[in-house]
Amino acid sequence: MPTRVRVYVALRNAIVRGGLEPGQRLSENTLAAELGISRTPIREGLSLLREDRLVETVPQLGSFVARVDAAAIGDAQFIRESLECAAIRISAEAATDADIDRLEINVQEQAQACEAGDLDAFYHLDDSFHRTLCDLSGHPSVWVVSERAKAHLNRVRRLSLGMPNYLEEMIAEHRLVIDAVAAHDADLAESHLRAHLRTVLREVPRMRAEHPDYFERPEDA
């Protein structure tokens, strides 16, 4: 993996999980020293993050972690919902018993992560669940395109995991999706998945109220 891409992936992950907070200044010199590389791949990685709207540059001041953008959330949701709902229709028809077993094991591990309060583990299992549903369609690029597009949505997804009863709700919805796929009912699988993907949007007002500094203010838009 080229150094600039490794920088991009590392910083993107840190922004999504909140390790780098909104408004935090990203010094090229500091990042280069921390990562033990030159400033050039740092600058290139930051440029890629600007394309994702995760980093913004203020003239004379430098680069900063962008706040969550409502418009970017909407764009990401549209792309994710369109791609994943199209994919699951094919997946519901193609899924084998072994595929269903793999999804069931994933959800069981989600329940264990929920019980342990391990939000990082749950987030990765959730991603793995949705990636599997996409890959079963025979179009693995669906996940790649969706993942690149939904950076701001992923930040909200990660933040939402701490909301009361949210993990339990996610697990219950995942089980509904599995049941529909196991029944090879494409219409029902799409319906359950679409409703599930929209659950996080319902939490946005509450997250904005609890974490006002995390989101772009209306006057900044």
Q: What does the angle CA 183 – CA 187 – CA 189 come to, to the nearest 5 degrees?
A: 55
pTM of the predicted structure, to 2 decimals:
0.88
Q: What is the pLDDT of residues 136-193, one digit of tens each?
A: 999 999 999 999 889 889 999 998 998 889 999 999 999 999 999 999 999 999 999 9
Give CA–CA dist 121/127, Å, rounded: 10
CATH architecture of 3-65: Orthogonal Bundle (1.10)
Q: What is the pLDDT confidence band of residue 195, given thresholds at 50, 70 and 90? A: very high
Residues of the chain within CATH 1.20.120.530 domain(s) are 70-214
DSSP-derived 3-state class of residue 23: coil
pLDDT (0 to 100) of residue 219: 52
Residue 218 pLDDT > 70: no
Q: Class for domain 70-214, per CATH? A: mainly alpha
| Residues 126 and 196: beta-carbon distance below 8 Å | no
Segment 98-106 mean pLDDT: 98
Residue 213 corresponds to which tokens in the numbers above? 């500094």
Task: Give the list of residues 6+ apart from residue 14 with CB closer than 8 angstroms, or none.
Answer: 20
Q: What is the pLDDT of residues 112-130, one digit of tens each?
A: 999 999 999 999 999 999 9
Residues of the chain within CATH 1.10.10.10 domain(s) are 3-65
CA distances from 170 to 161, 173, 205 (A): 9, 5, 18
Segment 75-95 mean pLDDT: 96
| Residues 200 and 207: beta-carbon distance below 8 Å | no
